[in-house]
Structures are given as C-alpha cells and as structure tokens.
C-alpha cells in the first residue's frame, strides 16, 4: 500500500496537528469452515486475507474527531464526548462505535483525525466493517498508549458492532482481523475465546474466493432469527435437561436427536447444523494440519449442504457456484462462507488448475445469471497492525 495516497488526502482534508500519528491496517477475512457457530460458543476456522483497510490517524489537541473516507469521498465530524449514531453515512458508526466502547471500558481517547481507504469489497461478506472497527481500535490504542492486548481489542471492536452499530454478530470477524497469522488458519474456540494455529502453507493448494455479487439483503433480521432459533434449543435443554446448559456447546448431539420430537422443527434443524458443523471444524483442522486436502475438501461440501438444508442461509447463486465447482478438476471442496443470503463461496483448489477453474466458473455463472463473479486468491496474512 502506497502511504502517499493516505498522506495526500489527509493534507487536503485536515491540518497537521503536530501530535502523534501513525499508519495502521486491518485485513478482511474468509472463513474456511465453521459457519453460524461463533455465537453458539462453537468452533470456527477463518484466515485473514490480503484485502485490507488502510488508515492514517493523528491525535488532536481538542475533543473533536474528524473522519474522511477516501473511497466514498465523505467526511464526518463529531467529538469524543458526544458520540451519536449517524443514520446517513453508516461507515462512520463503525469508527465512532469503537470510541464509544473504549470509553465504556474506562479508556479516554483524545480527539483525532482519520483518513482511510481499502480494497475489501463491501457487502460481499468478507468483513470490511470488522476490519474498519479493528483498524480503529489498533490505531487509537497505539496513539493513546493504552496497551490493550489484541484479544481485548477484538472484543471491543465486536462490541462496537453489537452495541453501537446494532448488529448482533459473533466474535469471529473481529478476532481474525486482529489476530490473523501469515500462512495459518486460526481454529478459534468461541467459548474460551482462544485459538490454535493450523498451518496452511503448501504452495500446491490455494484458497479461491468467489464473489457471487449478490448483495446480502435483509441479512440482519434473518441472522437474528437464526440466533433466536438456536437460543430456543438452549432454553429447552436448560429447562428440561439441566441448568448447566448455557449454549449449544453444552448440548450433546445424541441428546439433541433424542429430543427431536419435543423441539420445533426449525429449531431442531438449526441446532443440528451447529452441532454437526462444530465436529466438521475440528476434523477439517486435523486434515489441514496433516495436509489431507481431499478429506478436508469433502467436509466443505458437507458444510455447504448443512447450511443450505438445515440452517437455510444459502441462496440459489451460491448453490450453483458450489455445484459447478464440484465438477471442476482441481477443486477439492467448496462452500458458502460468512453469514449467507449472498456474498461469497470459498474453495480449496489445486494451484496447478487455478486458471481453468476460474475461466470455467466465470463462464457458467455469467451464462446463467448474466453477472460476472469476482475471483480472489489469497493465502493467510497477518492481522492488524502498523504498516
Ligand atoms: C457474520 C458474523 C460472524 C458469524 C458469521 C456466520 O460474518 O459477523 O460473527 O456469525 O456471520 O458464521
């Protein structure tokens, strides 16, 4: 990333305050497997991708906060004292939300100026909003010398999204953007909020992300509905089986099968997805570790089917991309990734076949839907920091 783009825009928008400043970046993510499990205290296995938000921040000697988005060519101004939700330019809420959460945690950030740009496609399910929150948390932490550890910064970023932006997401996106590692996927245990690194650096294999270009409509209400259905099952087990059940993580899959006829059909289907998906994540991580890519790939197809039939968050276009991928030489596995209802598929492929795979999938999708999908190849990169 060329720093001069940020500098030039900063100088056009703001005056140099002469105070501390810095360049920070935070990546987007793609989840290899483990979907809709994070808010059920389960397992996920994302990687940070080589698409990022880049920002330049400088402290001010007053309480004002001035923001400028280079890509939208939009400005926003507030003070660190009076933080209010902005209905018009939704991007500013991700930044201001972080300031608000920092203050709730007892930190008192200075006023600041910030410019930013990025290459994470927006609305594609690759977590551009989490990256914006995380880059803000890292920048403000560093410039104000708070020394907050990266786990805590991820949680502050998630809370900004939950409490200020009003989206009830889990921890996965902010966690991987903050803590991602080069050439490694992170197996995150969302109950203990800890991770293990799973190496992915065999150059014969690649992660191919395909953007269906279907923007995720009504995603928040459908996401919240799925959360409620999972919670209904937890409530049932708490009331009927034992007080100690706090999340779907505490529900045994055989017990779930046993109580099928006592649960609402949809609630049962949602929980079945979550419990089987947790198992797939653990198996997939073992296969990746042992470089058993064929076996890992098959679990991705199984995950997709479960998301399609049990959790019901896929759409026709994503199913089409997964089915077509299955027929391609060199594709070992494919599935929808992220919250669903649009966005991307993630594919595990052989590097040697990448050109034909991309050509062929582009043609079939274009023929069928008259839209050209976007393709991104990315190896796991390091999470947020200075650059
Ligand atoms: C969105 C949320 C994540 C996670 C996924 C589904 O990306 O932000 O917390 O729940 O959906 O796995």
Q: What is the pLDDT of residues 304-336, one digit of tens each?
A: 999 999 999 999 999 999 999 999 999 999 999
Cα(158) to centroid of ligand 1, in Å?
Answer: 11
Ligand 1 neighbourhood includes 336 CB (under 6 angstroms): no
- For the CA of 44, the closest atom of ligand 1 is 12
Give the H/E segment covering residue 77: strand 74-79
- Ligand 1 centre to CA of 12 (Å) is 37
Q: How far apart are CA 230 and CA 266, in angstroms?
A: 9
Residue 38 CA, closest ligand 1 atom number: 10
Q: DSSP characters for 158-215?
A: HHIIIIII-----SHHHHHHHH-BTTEEEEEETTTTEEEEEE---TTEEEEEEE----
Residue 247's pLDDT is 98
Residue 98 contacts residue 136 (beta carbons within 8 Å): yes
Q: Which residue is listed with tokens 């949680």?
A: 155
The answer, yes or no, to whether any atom of ligand 1 lies below 6 A from the CB of 169, is: yes
Q: How many CA atoms lie within 13 A of 331 on its CB side?
A: 25
Q: Is the CB of 29 under 6 A from ligand 1?
A: no
Euclidean distance between CA atoms 167 and 76, whole angstroms = 21
Distance from residue 173's CA to the centre of ligand 1 (Å): 7
User: How large is the average pLDDT for residues 254-259?
Assistant: 96
Mean of pLDDT over the chain: 96
| Sequence-ordered alpha helix ranges (H) in the chain | 3-13, 91-104, 128-143, 150-159, 172-179, 219-240, 253-258, 265-289, 293-309, 316-326, 354-369
- Binding site membership of 60 for ligand 1 (Cβ less than 6 Å): no
Closest CA to 40 of 251, 341, 280: 251
Share of the chain above pLDDT 90, in %: 94
- Cα of 311 from ligand 1 centre, angstroms: 13
Q: How many Å lie between the centroid of ligand 1 and the Cα of residue 340?
A: 9
Question: Would you please indicate which residues are annotated as catalytic (active-site) residues?
Answer: 173
**pLDDT at site 218:** 62
Ligand 1 atom showing the smallest separation from residue 130 Cα: 8
Take atom 11 of ligand 1 and give the residue whose Cα is closest.
339
Sheet of 43-44: strands edge to edge?
43-44, 184-189, 194-199
pLDDT class of 344 with cuts at 50, 70, 90: very high
Check pocket membership of 173 for ligand 1, CB cut-off 6 A: yes
For residue 273, CA distances in Å to 6, 73, 188, 304 come to: 44, 42, 18, 10
Average pLDDT over residues 286-295: 97
Ligand 1 centroid, distance to 124 Cα (angstroms): 12
CB of 339 within 6 A of ligand 1: the answer is yes
Q: For the residues of 275-315, what is the DSSP string, one character each?
A: HHHHHHHHHHHHHHHTT-HHHHHHHHHHHHHHHHHTS----
Distance from C-alpha of 69 to C-alpha of 10, rounded to nearest angstrom: 10
- Structural domain spans, the chain: 3-198, 205-378
Q: Tell me which residue has its CA closest to atom 8 in ligand 1.
A: 169
Which two structure tokens, joined as six digits, stand for 275?
């419990």
Q: Whose CA is nearest to atom 1 of ligand 1?
A: 339
> Which of 170, 281, 345 has most ligand 1 atoms within 8 Å of CB, for mutation?
170
**Residue 338 near ligand 1, beta carbon < 6 Å:** yes
pLDDT digits (tens, 9 = 90+) for 124-173: 999 999 999 999 999 999 999 999 999 999 999 999 999 999 999 999 99
Non-local CB neighbours of 380 within 8 Å, separated by 6+ positions: 47, 48, 49, 180, 181, 182, 183, 184, 185, 200
Return the CATH number of the domain spanning residue range 3-198: 3.30.230.10
The encoded tokens of residue 113 equal 């100026």
Question: Distance, CA 59 to ligand 1 centroid (Å)?
Answer: 32
Q: Which two tokens stand for residue 30?
A: 């793609």
Token pair belonging to 75: 């400005």
Question: pLDDT (tens digit, 9 = 90+) per residue, 64-96?
Answer: 999 999 999 999 999 999 898 988 878 999 999
What secondary structure letter does DSSP report for 328?
Answer: S
User: Could you say which DSSP state residue 80 is in?
Assistant: S
Percent of the chain with pLDDT over 70: 99
Cβ count near 11 (within 10 Å): 11
Structure-block tokens of residue 328: 């391609």
36 lines ligand 1 (CB under 6 A): yes
115: which strand partners? 56, 68
Return the best residue to mutate from 339, 340, 346 for the ligand 1 pocket (most ligand atoms within 8 A of CB). Answer: 339
Tokens 């939300």, residue located:
97
Query: Is pLDDT at 216 greater than 80 in this prediction?
Result: no
Domain 205-378 has CATH 1.10.10.60: no
| 374: nearest Cα among 214, 207, 215, 211 | 211
Parallel, antiparallel, or unpaired: how do β-strands 64-69 and 112-118 relate? Answer: parallel
In the block, residue with structure tokens 């999908």 = 373
């Amino acid at each position: 990333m060329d720093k001069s783009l940020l500098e030039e825009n900063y100088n056009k928008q703001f005056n140099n305050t002469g105070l501390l400043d810095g360049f920070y970046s935070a990546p987007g993510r793609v989840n290899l497997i483990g979907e809709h499990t994070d808010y059920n205290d389960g397992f996920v296995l994302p990687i940070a991708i080589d698409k990022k938000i880049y920002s330049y921040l400088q402290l001010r000697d007053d309480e004002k906060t001035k923001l400028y988005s280079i890509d939208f060519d939009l400005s926003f101004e507030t003070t660190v004292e009076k933080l209010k939700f902005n209905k018009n330019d939704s991007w500013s809420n991700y930044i201001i939300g972080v300031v608000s959460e920092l203050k709730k945690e007892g930190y008192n950030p200075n006023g600041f100026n910030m410019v930013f740009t990025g290459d994470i496609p927006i609305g594609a399910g690759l977590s551009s909003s989490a990256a914006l929150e995380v880059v803000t948390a890292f920048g403000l932490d560093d410039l104000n010398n708070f020394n907050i550890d990266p786990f805590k910064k991820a949680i502050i970023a998630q809370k900004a999204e939950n409490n200020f932006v009003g989206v009830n997401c889990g921890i996965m996106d902010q966690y991987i953007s903050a803590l991602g590692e080069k050439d490694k996927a992170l197996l995150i245990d969302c109950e203990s909020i800890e991770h293990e690194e799973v190496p992915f650096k065999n150059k014969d294999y690649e992660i191919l992300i395909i953007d269906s270009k279907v923007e995720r409509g009504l995603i928040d209400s459908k996401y919240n509905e799925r959360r409620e259905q999972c919670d209904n099952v937890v409530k049932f087990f708490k009331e009927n089986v034992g007080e100690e059940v706090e999340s779907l993580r505490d529900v045994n899959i055989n017990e779930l099968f046993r109580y099928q006829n006592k649960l609402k059909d949809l609630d049962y289907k949602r929980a079945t997805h979550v419990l089987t998906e947790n198992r797939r994540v653990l198996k997939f991580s073992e296969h990746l570790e042992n470089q058993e890519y064929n076996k890992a790939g098959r679990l991705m197809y199984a995950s997709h089917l479960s998301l399609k039939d049990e959790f019901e968050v896929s759409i026709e276009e994503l199913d089409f991309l997964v089915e077509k991928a299955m027929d391609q030489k060199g594709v070992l596995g494919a599935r929808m990734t992220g919250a669903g209802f649009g966005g991307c598929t993630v594919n595990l492929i052989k590097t040697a076949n990448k050109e034909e795979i991309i050509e062929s999938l582009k043609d079939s999708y274009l023929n069928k839907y008259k839209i050209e999908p976007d393709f991104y190849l990315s190896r796991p990169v390091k999470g947020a920091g200075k650059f």
